[in-house]
Amino acid sequence: MVAPLVVAVTGLNATDNPGPGVGVIRSLLHARDPGLRVVGLAYDAMEPGVYADGLVDDVFLIPYPSQGVEPLRERLAYIRRRVGFNVVIPTLDAELPAFVDLAPELAAQGVGTLLPTREQLDLRCKAKLAALGAQGLPVPASRVLTDVAGLYTIHEAFPYPIVVKGPYYGAKVAHTLDEAVHAFHAMAAQWGFPVIVQQFVAGQELCVLAVGDGRGGLVGAVQMRKTVITDKGKGWAGVAIRDEGLDALTATFMKASRWRGPCELEVIRDAAGGYHVLEVNPRFPAWCFLSAGAGMNLPFAVAELAAGRAPAALADYRVGTMFVRIALDQITDMAPFSSMSTAGEIVRSEGASR
């Protein structure tokens, strides 16, 4: 018999700048797989996904990525003893290196993952994305800075406006040197170094959620055009599309990187029809539930592959399927919050088969 999926998922910070975890979990539940259980992994007791009704069976606090691999190893071992899980899907950039390092140990313990290698992570990082241009991926001109002095001559490389980015998250458009200096200090203070400065490209914002097979091919991919964008640059609404240019970009990236697992390509299509890859995010995007709603459930496919299952063939998705994000007030009481704050866990399925 095939063991039921018990999937641990991170990224439950479903705020106006949401993590991907809630979308991944909703996709898993959408599959209605018999015996499926979900274990939430949170970094803070106030992450909204902790308290969403019917979302997670159990939830645990885990140590921040800055604390290193060993505390994470010990915490995951504790969680496995309490409730068990056989798949883990990390969804945040900063935590991926530790999970990649732990993947062989987890596999030996019967816990599957579908993650890139350290080398693949390094290849697509914001600071090195420009190198992919030599392998056929059209990327805007950029510079990697560790000192604000580099901004004073950046106009010699490419004109204003420019985009100032943090190493993991954050992006601010600057139209003047003063704006660029302010953005540089803000990014460095929040996210550290290096700070990436990229040529601004105007156009239509497109995204591709893709899952690579680790051999240069695709498990599946869903394309999306943003239709409503927040002041943080996040898609609050979008529609599934099919664009041959995005097909080609995705195939080029997979061939160049031999990517394993989920990723997101953020692309601008300019007024002349040219494509520019702004970022390659090494995990599911927050809008990933669109893939399940459109008929190509990529989070569930990743969970099955990580568990050693052969997923059902992924049929084409329904172009024109839309998502519109919603903000609402969740009602809970102090008991689960107290449990998360003091014990670091909410356990409902202790004693379930492991």
262: β partners: 211
> Under CATH, which architecture does the 6-114+328-346 domain have?
3-Layer(aba) Sandwich (3.40)
Averaged pLDDT for residues 177-196: 92
Angle in degrees, 0-180, between the axes of helices 298-306 and 21-30, rounded to the nearest 10: 80
Cα–Cα distance for residue pair 78/325, rounded to 1 Å: 35
Rounded to 5 degrees, φ, ψ at 23 are -65, -40
Averaged pLDDT for residues 146-171: 90
> Which residues lie closer than 8 Å to 274 by C-beta, 6 or more apart?
138
pLDDT higher than 90, residue 231: no
CATH 3.30.470.20 occupies which residues in the chain?
A: 202-324
Adjacency order of strands within the sheet including 171-174: 142-145, 195-199, 162-165, 171-174
**Contact of 34 with 72, CB cutoff 8 Å:** no
Angle in degrees, 0-180, between the axes of helices 69-82 and 96-108, rounded to the nearest 10: 50
Q: What is the dihedral of CA 25, 26, 28, 30, to 10 degrees?
A: 170
One DSSP character per residue, 264-323 reads EEEEEE-TTS-EEEEEEESS--TTTHHHHHTT--HHHHHHHHHTT--PPP-PPP-TT-EE
CATH 3.30.1490.20 occupies which residues in the chain?
A: 141-199
pLDDT higher than 50, residue 353: no
Which of 34-43, 228-237, 274-283, 285-294 is predicted least confidently? 228-237
State the pLDDT at residue 237: 96
Higher pLDDT, 134 or 221: 221
The predicted model scores a pTM of: 0.91
Please provide the CATH number assigned to the domain covering 202-324: 3.30.470.20
The rounded mean pLDDT for the chain is 93
Q: In this structure, what token pair is assigned to residue 116? A: 């890139």
Q: What is the dihedral of CA 283, 97, 232, 227, to 10 degrees?
A: -10
Element (H, E) at 237: strand 235-241
Sign (positive or negative) of CA dihedral 310, 312, 315, 321:
negative
Which of 50-54, 97-101, 318-322 is predicted least confidently? 50-54
Cα–Cα distance for residue pair 227/234, rounded to 1 Å: 10
CATH 3.40.50.20 occupies which residues in the chain?
A: 6-114+328-346
* Domain covering 141-199 assigned CATH 3.30.1490.20 in the classification: yes
State the pLDDT at residue 131: 78
Sign (positive or negative) of CA dihedral 93, 100, 209, 281:
positive
Q: pLDDT band for position 354 (50/70/90)?
A: very low
State the pLDDT at residue 1: 62
Cα–Cα distance for residue pair 251/135, rounded to 1 Å: 12
Specify the amino acid at residue 88. V
pLDDT tens for each residue of 91-140: 999 999 999 999 999 999 999 999 999 999 988 877 777 777 778 889 88
Q: What share of the chain has pLDDT > 70, as a percent?
A: 98
